[in-house]
A and B are shown apart, each in its own frame.
Chain A
């Protein structure tokens, strides 16, 4: 039986662990205005290096900590030097996307090296518990607290008394002015990435020991929790990140005490969204103004899009349309069906992220809403499948827009964080709202696709159906982009202040973009549900959101044809080259990195 005292201790300990991650994020954000989405991967790497040290090198605990810190720091330095420094003069979104790509690559490398199966990471500490107040406390709790406090002290001394520490502080307040004092910003970046990685790595190791288990799913969760804590404390604010982390730890722990374990993350993300909406500068900032972000216009690489003549598009569509009439294998059709479904999601994202400039990292949630709506409509209310899919699209449009609307005043990075959090919330609500969604069991026995009473069972009919839906959506979106509405979207993306000065209502246009985009994604999710016949809360996950983003960048942000070309390329090429499934995510990560570095405008150019 656990007492409130235990929950408090547990909250503070977990908070301590989050703090180690969040402080690194805050340091990096301070200096380079970048949310480092690879921070969780370093945490993961730290945990596995800890495992290697403990289980294979049999290092004593103090040495393990040092080994983990040093090795993780090295990874951080490599990321900074080769992943981010070359992007210094690129568009503002480039480093953010690069860290996402890096995190995919690192996670997959760890998974390929160590297999995805969980492993035990013993702490080497005696298993005793001391009675204290109304509860108990163990040596590992003390170790985590000790590491947390020691790190905080070291960091304080570094920032306050060392020359490099002064440079870090100066650069985080005014990068250009610091350069004019002779501060070498590259060295500062190196320092903060090294420190952040060391802290993150140690944090991952400690968590592994705390639960005596490590697995590759830790990475994304750590990034998310670190980001929550950092934003709650005020992005770039180092002491704020510590307090935000402890707060997050306590909120989660008490939430678990009252509602149960599966609610832990829900509380974290709700806290994030509430803070983002009410106090986007963090709990400790004095002002309620929108956080500093570059104008969204500089956020997207400008380019001259490749013009593809209409007849060529028509020919391409015709070729794909007649393809099933030829003796192509089931496998080819299956692959292309996947491409068309991803294409619909990419159409949605390219509109929201490219045309409107709202880089969403939670787009898979729209799939999930559409899929669950369509599945439940057809299963429980016996709505015909075709209609249920439309219902899924409408529900995605409505609910997606409703959920994101409180965040409409956010810009740049903060939009990405908010959408990421909302995506997680959707998946957690699906998990916990058992009476409707059947919770962790998922929904099985979803009826197959039918249209006007005809079953679409054969692969060719499913192929035609999904191709047709995608083409219709693409044509509609093409019309939209050349209309007055499309121009308004781009005007807001390029300079929202000027757009507002011309009398454009930002909220209305952002809503319209999300409504249209939500519909396309919801339809895609709906079709997928009836194809898969089984879905659960993990069917549509963050990996798909990132895959969609990679597709959209590959095709060229805002580019309708590009979104489809990107989908076919990313779904098709791994099949053509028969790349094993476990290497695919790795390849997507590398593609994203290469694109960001060498061709941010994508294959067909941004519009």
Chain B
């Protein structure tokens, strides 16, 4: 990696199992402070499990996970969230029967500064103007794209230092895909580091600083996004030609 800036999140030599089945083999990933890092990989390669390891939803059998130089191993998910990691889970996972407003405010659950939270809610409405008219609506009744916006607003409400996102563009129309990528870039420019999982490599590499390619639990390729974009190996090994950008 080039002139490595300070690491905010680091996974080193992580091995993960579901019962007998090993999902990660000596996985090592670094997210530099202020960067967007993308994890690419096909179905069932272990991408979502990586997110769950970071969030403490799944415990690795061995290896180390550090955030801001402090270990996350052994912490519960709420404790990890309080350290400053917010998440946009796979398939968004909104609280379907709560209103959009309540969903966004749930993102600020770990905060106790009511006034600042109210201000942040307003800020979200300028960042995601479409949500303004939807605040009272049941979150479950929104379209997929709108739900993605709510999930991102919800994650930002905790004022995280890092956001982890699992396939934020999945199932969205091309228009929304562009919008989401643009928002990720905006969020990042405001100083939030981003670790995202994507299947759509060509799109992800557009905005990422670095990327890793995961294949059945092993990192097979990594480096600056710019370099990987033109790397023939990623085209062969992962894109399989179908995603010719």
Tell me if A254 counts as interface (CB < 8 A to partner B): no
CB < 8 Å neighbour of B107 from A163, A181, A185: A181
CA gap between A173 and B86 in the complex, in Å: 19
The residues of A that contact B98 with a CB separation of less than 8 Å are: 169-170, 173
CA gap between A182 and B154 in the complex, in Å: 12
- Other contacts beyond A182-B109, A183-B109: 13, CB < 8 A: A163-B109, A169-B95, A169-B97, A174-B96, A176-B93, A177-B93, A178-B106, A179-B57, A180-B81, A180-B87, A181-B154, A181-B158, A182-B158
Question: What sequence of 0s and 1s flags, for each residue 79-95 of chain B, a beta carbon within 8 Å of any chain A beta carbon?
Answer: 00110001101000111
Q: How far, in Å, is A301 (CB) from chain B's closest CB?
A: 12
Give the nearest-CB partner of A180 in chain B: B87
Q: How far, in Å, is A360 (CB) from chain B's closest CB?
A: 28
Question: What sequence of 0s and 1s flags, for each residue 278-296 of chain A, a beta carbon within 8 Å of any chain B beta carbon?
Answer: 0000000000000000000
CA gap between A180 and B80 in the complex, in Å: 9
Q: How far, in Å, is B72 (CB) from chain A's closest CB?
A: 14
CB < 8 Å neighbour of A181 from B96, B97, B106: B106
Tell me if A167 counts as interface (CB < 8 A to partner B): yes
Tell me if B77 counts as interface (CB < 8 A to partner A): yes
Q: How far, in Å, is A164 (CB) from chain B's closest CB?
A: 10
The residues of B that contact A185 with a CB separation of less than 8 Å are: 78
The residues of A that contact B87 with a CB separation of less than 8 Å are: 180
Task: Enumerate A155-196 residues with CB–CB distance to B below 8 Å.
Answer: 163, 166-167, 169-170, 173-174, 176-185
CA gap between A178 and B154 in the complex, in Å: 11
The residues of A that contact B110 with a CB separation of less than 8 Å are: 181-182
The residues of A that contact B105 with a CB separation of less than 8 Å are: 166
Task: Enumerate A61-120 residues with CB–CB distance to B below 8 Å.
Answer: none
A interface residue numbers (CB < 8 A to B): 163, 166-167, 169-170, 173-174, 176-185
Please name 11 pairs of A and B residues whose Cβ atoms are closer than 8 Å in the assembled complex, sorted by A.
A169-B95, A170-B95, A173-B97, A174-B94, A176-B93, A180-B81, A180-B86, A181-B81, A181-B106, A182-B158, A183-B109
Whether A170 pairs with B106 at a CB distance below 8 angstroms is yes
CB < 8 Å neighbour of B89 from A163, A166, A170, A180: A180
CA gap between A170 and B102 in the complex, in Å: 9
- Give the number of chain B interface residues (Cβ < 8 Å): 24
A166 and B106 in contact, given A177-B94, A182-B82, A184-B78 (Cβ under 8 angstroms): yes
Question: What sequence of 0s and 1s flags, for each residue 91-129 of chain B, a beta carbon within 8 Å of any chain A beta carbon?
Answer: 001111110001001110110000000000000000000
Whether A166 pairs with B93 at a CB distance below 8 angstroms is no
The residues of A that contact B76 with a CB separation of less than 8 Å are: 179, 184
Whether B78 pairs with A173 at a CB distance below 8 angstroms is no
The residues of A that contact B96 with a CB separation of less than 8 Å are: 173-174
Tell me if B55 counts as interface (CB < 8 A to partner A): yes
CA gap between A1 and B154 in the complex, in Å: 61
Q: How far, in Å, is A133 (CB) from chain B's closest CB?
A: 38
CA gap between A446 and B77 in the complex, in Å: 63
Whether A166 pairs with B57 at a CB distance below 8 angstroms is no
CA gap between A178 and B102 in the complex, in Å: 12
The residues of B that contact A169 with a CB separation of less than 8 Å are: 95, 97-98
Give the nearest-CB partner of A167 in chain B: B109
The residues of A that contact B154 with a CB separation of less than 8 Å are: 181
Whether A173 pairs with B95 at a CB distance below 8 angstroms is yes
The residues of B that contact A183 with a CB separation of less than 8 Å are: 78, 109
Whether B55 pairs with A180 at a CB distance below 8 angstroms is yes
- The 5 A-B residue pairs with the shortest CB-CB distance in the complex, in nearest-first order: A182-B110, A177-B93, A182-B81, A179-B77, A173-B95
CA gap between A167 and B158 in the complex, in Å: 15
The residues of B that contact A173 with a CB separation of less than 8 Å are: 95-98
CA gap between A70 and B105 in the complex, in Å: 32
Give the nearest-CB partner of B96 in chain A: A173
Q: How far, in Å, is B46 (CB) from chain A's closest CB?
A: 18
Determine which residue in B81, B96, B105 has the highest number of CB atoms from chain A within 10 A of its CB, and name it.
B81
The residues of A that contact B107 with a CB separation of less than 8 Å are: 181
Give the nearest-CB partner of A166 in chain B: B106
Whether A177 pairs with B89 at a CB distance below 8 angstroms is yes
Whether A176 pairs with B57 at a CB distance below 8 angstroms is yes
CA gap between A180 and B94 in the complex, in Å: 11
CA gap between A178 and B57 in the complex, in Å: 12
The residues of B that contact A181 with a CB separation of less than 8 Å are: 81, 106-107, 109-110, 154, 158
The residues of B that contact A184 with a CB separation of less than 8 Å are: 76, 78
